Structure 1
Amino acid sequence: MGNCLNSSSRVENAQNSQHASYPSKVPSKASSSSAPSTLTAYSTPSTLTVPSYTERTANGGLLTPLTEGEILSSSNLKAFTFNDLKNATRNFRPDSLLGEGGFGCVYKGWIDEQSLTASRPGTGMVVAVKKLKPEGFQGHKEWLTEVNYLGQLHHPNLVKLIGYCSEGDNRLLVYEFMPKGSLENHLFRRGSQPLPWAIRIKVAIGAARGLSFLHDAESQVIYRDFKASNILLDSEFNAKLSDFGLAKAGPTGDRTHVSTQVMGTHGYAAPEYIATGRLSAKADVYSFGVVLLELLSGRRALDKTKVGIEQNLADWAKPYLGDKRKLYRIMDSRLEGQYPKKGAHAVANLASQCIGSEAKLRPRMSEVLAALEELQDPRNAAVMQSQADKRKASGTTSRSPMRRHRTSPRRPTIGGSPLPSCQRSPRVH
């Protein structure tokens, strides 16, 4: 749901669309042809219910799904009135707009920290208010799914959902405000400052912690729409996952997957899931690998402005990931060579394992997280800063991305505010 977009095309006929996560400034105007498309195929049930990941029997089976009323009453979230949110956002004025997409629009607002009532602009706590377009059953279903999960899941690397509004035809969500916006904006928006290597690793680690928490929970949750536009950044570039509209309870007992309608985003969705509809946590691992490639290359997961194999980042990058001598060919030129050679190779190797065609051979997110944390060794960061300072003092600029930084991080070993970005990446459902 962090994806403000609803598209009803099937996977085979994906159409590009614009997306609006919540935090950051006004939506970027990048060509829709370069952004991934979201694909979905919907049917409308007579009664709206959403399975809750907490509602299970002693042997792990799902109980009767919760109804909308049960979800809203048990969410521990603030129930806002529509008038509350009108006042908080200055009546949804255009100058309060943070982003927009197929789902609707996201506005900046202010509420009192104690009472959570609307406060005067510039006073109290800043929030992001996502307003659902009135038409569309699927949008409401995703809205309810997000309330269900974020109303119960709490972790430093998941965006905080403060409350909701369900009044008449109005459906809104109120989130903590994420001042740095989405990772997508920092990587791809024109005019943005390039993210330094250390920040890219920090973001990857934060996102990995969020996914590991979901996968290792007592009742596993599969995120199902992991991508750069759903990774939001706070003022210190701590990453938080947003948009839980496609989240799904994981398999129980001795089952290895759940069978479900295919949903997600082209370029990020795992091939076995698209082909069979069989969903497992390893589908999230694949998506994480694609985001690692975006962090390495500065390229989008799916870019229709490219030609041939270069349109799909995973397909294009694969041949270079295991070759130390050729890796520089896919590295983001905006890094200007300012990254450790061995560190970049370790991340490339990790990404290669994550996007492997055999789902069962991909690492678990806990293993991916451990490998990334190895790269954040303080000693490596100190060496990087020292070298950068020396180059700055001498006025030299690195020309060869792969011939800098003699000191590099230890090689990891592993086992076998919903805010800005108004571009929508393709979804698969």
Structure 2
Amino acid sequence: MGGRCSKFSFCWWPSRLKPDVLESSDIECAGNDRNALSGFTDFGFEQLRTATSGFSVDNIVSEHGEKAPNVVYKGRLENDRWIAVKRFNKSAWPDTRQFLEEARSVGQLRNERLANLIGCCCEGDERLLVAEFMPNETLAKHLFHWENQPMKWAMRLRVALYLAQALEYCSSRGRALYHDLNAYRVLFDQDGNPRLSCFGLMKNSRDGKSYSTNLAFTPPEYMRTGRVTPESVVYSFGTLLLDLLSGKHIPPSHALDLIRGKNFLMLMDSCLEGHFSNDDGTELVRLASRCLQYEPRERPNAKSLVTALTSLQKEAEVPSYVLMGIPYGTVPSTPLPLTPLGEACSRLDLTAIHEILEKVGYKDDDGVAHELSFQMWTGQMQEMLNSKKQADSAFRAKDFVTAIDWYTRFIDGGSMVSPTVFARRCLSYLMNDMPQEALGDAMQAQVVSPEWATAFYLQAAALFSLGMDTDAQETLKDGTDLEARKNSRN
């Protein structure tokens, strides 16, 4: 996969402003001058259905860290304006008045550092939010799943400052609480400038908790009280600083241990070696450490974060799109349609996945399955081939418990490697509600056959089962891209 970092480890409008450091009031005024940001619209449901091509799965965008069934879609209005539409689960926001009041309150915010909320829809059981569309994906994508180049040090410092400015602006407007601040909620606009998603500013409804299920990244006081405070948001900002420093999602406890041991360089992204000064790195580490203090009162506020980060800015005259290595004025691209297998995995339709894998058989193993034993017809090899035959028979009969047993015997034999066997055992695990084991097998299939789209599709299915919807959407897209490249070569 070239320079792309591993996704998993076990262990949206253009800015005409120069990227110089701006005061929050200047940022707000600049935003208000833009006709695209004026007003807040009550959209009709049919209008949004049309804009998103009937809420097509092809228009789902992998961002915001949203959990299914609360899905974000890319949409295009009749005036050709691109929008992001978040559609809530029907059980969320049962109080119509509460939803409208909350949406209109967030919709009053207008700032160049936000992906602003520009409207909503409340018809029957439907609850939808409409925001500016950010075409250049998420911080998570550019930090963890980059393809062409790692994010430059100067851009990482700019992201930190712009995010702090966004939080300071929100705090100054009485919206200091932000729910589940993470790298998926930082989006990049048409000019490559980072923006904070407005969706996290909505007060919690019945659709979920304020923080993800990964307790290692949850503020300690939230664990005790279940309540979000401004200090909790600063803690989450600290985890984002760790992301920017390391290029990985490091648990704060582990990072703090390294910091206490003065192992600062172990925190730093190896891709950045030689591209930043030790003083700058140390200062950002120190700031992250302050944000991650156990006692909320010991953490800095958003205003002091802006002050500290302003002095660290590098290459302020260079536009963000240059630092990011993306074309100027990027416009949304039409997503590649999902293949039948990709579609089945996106819906977690295990029956359809089984039918497709059974139909395809082992044809994708051509040139991939490796015999590691020279003695082809020894008793051991014959036993392995028998295990595979028994496993395939059970898989065909949908006896997935037996299939797991026999496929495991084949794999443990170690004389042959087959990505299809891993794929079939992966589905068998999913059928038995064992998603973690299924994810392991799908990843093993990718190790054996790195350019095999099926391995990515099955990883997505396992991730959906684990509730990791954002990573699942990313992996689904990777599989689709691989399939498209393969078809173009053929």
Instruction: Tell me the secondary structure at the aligned position of residue 293 of structure 2.
Output: coil
Q: Could you tell me whether the CA contact under 8 Å between 1:225 and 1:247 is conserved in 2?
A: no
List gaps (5 residues or longer) in structure 1.
1-27, 35-74, 112-117, 250-260, 302-312, 386-420, 425-429
Structure 1 residue 145, shift from structure 2 partner = 7.1
Query: Which is further off, 352-361 or 168-177?
Result: 168-177
Pick the structure with more helix per residue.
2
Alignment equivalent of 2:54, drawn from 73, 91, 111: 91
Q: Could you tell me whether the CA contact under 8 Å between 1:101 and 1:423 is conserved in 2?
A: no
d(CA) in 2 for partners of 1:139, 1:423: 31
Q: Could you tell me whether the CA contact under 8 Å between 1:96 and 1:109 is conserved in 2?
A: yes
Partner of 1:402: none
Q: What CA deviation, in whole Å up to 9, does each residue of 1:243-265 have, x standing for no partner? A: 5456559xxxxxxxxxxx97323
User: Structure 1 residue 350 and structure 2 residue 287: aligned?
Assistant: yes
Q: Could you tell me whether the CA contact under 8 Å between 1:221 and 1:247 is conserved in 2?
A: no
Structure 1 residue 282, shift from structure 2 partner = 1.3
d(CA) in 2 for partners of 1:225, 1:77: 25
**Which residues of 2 match residues 404-419 of structure 1 at below 5 A?**
none
Q: Could you tell me whether the CA contact under 8 Å between 1:354 and 1:363 is conserved in 2?
A: yes
d(CA) in 2 for partners of 1:134, 1:215: 30
Cα distance change of structure 1 residues 299 and 377 upon mapping to structure 2, 3 Å threshold: closer
Partner of 1:264: 211
Cα distance change of structure 1 residues 149 and 269 upon mapping to structure 2, 3 Å threshold: farther
d(CA) in 2 for partners of 1:158, 1:423: 23
Cα distance change of structure 1 residues 215 and 268 upon mapping to structure 2, 3 Å threshold: farther
Alignment equivalent of 2:196, drawn from 241, 250, 254: 241
Amino acid at match of 1:290: T
User: Structure 1 residue 126 and structure 2 residue 82: aligned?
Assistant: yes
CA RMSD, 1 decimal = 3.6
Q: How many matched pairs?
A: 285
Pick the structure with more strand per residue.
1
Q: Could you tell me whether the CA contact under 8 Å between 2:40 and 2:108 is conserved in 1?
A: no
d(CA) in 1 for partners of 2:153, 2:197: 23
User: How high is the sequence identity, in percent, across the aligned residues?
Assistant: 35
Partner of 2:238: 289
Q: Could you tell me whether the CA contact under 8 Å between 1:103 and 1:133 is conserved in 2?
A: yes
User: Structure 1 residue 215 and structure 2 residue 263: aligned?
Assistant: no
List gaps (5 residues or longer) in structure 2.
12-37, 323-468, 473-490
Amino acid at match of 1:343: D
Structure 1 residue 190, shift from structure 2 partner = 5.9
d(CA) in 2 for partners of 1:234, 1:365: 23
Q: Could you tell me whether the CA contact under 8 Å between 1:199 and 1:237 is conserved in 2?
A: no
Cα distance change of structure 1 residues 247 and 271 upon mapping to structure 2, 3 Å threshold: farther
Q: What CA deviation, in whole Å up to 9, does each residue of 1:368-400 have, x standing for no partner? A: 11111100155999xxx9xxxxxxxxxxxxxxx
Q: Could you tell me whether the CA contact under 8 Å between 1:82 and 1:165 is conserved in 2?
A: yes
d(CA) in 2 for partners of 1:316, 1:336: 21
Q: Could you tell me whether the CA contact under 8 Å between 1:188 and 1:298 is conserved in 2?
A: yes
Partner of 1:275: 224
Q: Could you tell me whether the CA contact under 8 Å between 1:145 and 1:244 is conserved in 2?
A: no
Instruction: Tell me the secondary structure at the aligned position of residue 90 of structure 1.
Output: coil
d(CA) in 2 for partners of 1:316, 1:291: 14
d(CA) in 1 for partners of 2:280, 2:193: 20
Q: Could you tell me whether the CA contact under 8 Å between 2:70 and 2:88 is conserved in 1?
A: yes
Q: Could you tell me whether the CA contact under 8 Å between 1:145 and 1:246 is conserved in 2?
A: no
Structure 1 residue 135, shift from structure 2 partner = 4.2
Q: Could you tell me whether the CA contact under 8 Å between 1:314 and 1:355 is conserved in 2?
A: yes
d(CA) in 2 for partners of 1:102, 1:357: 31
Q: What CA deviation, in whole Å up to 9, does each residue of 1:331-376 have, x standing for no partner? A: 1123244222211111001001110112111111111111111001
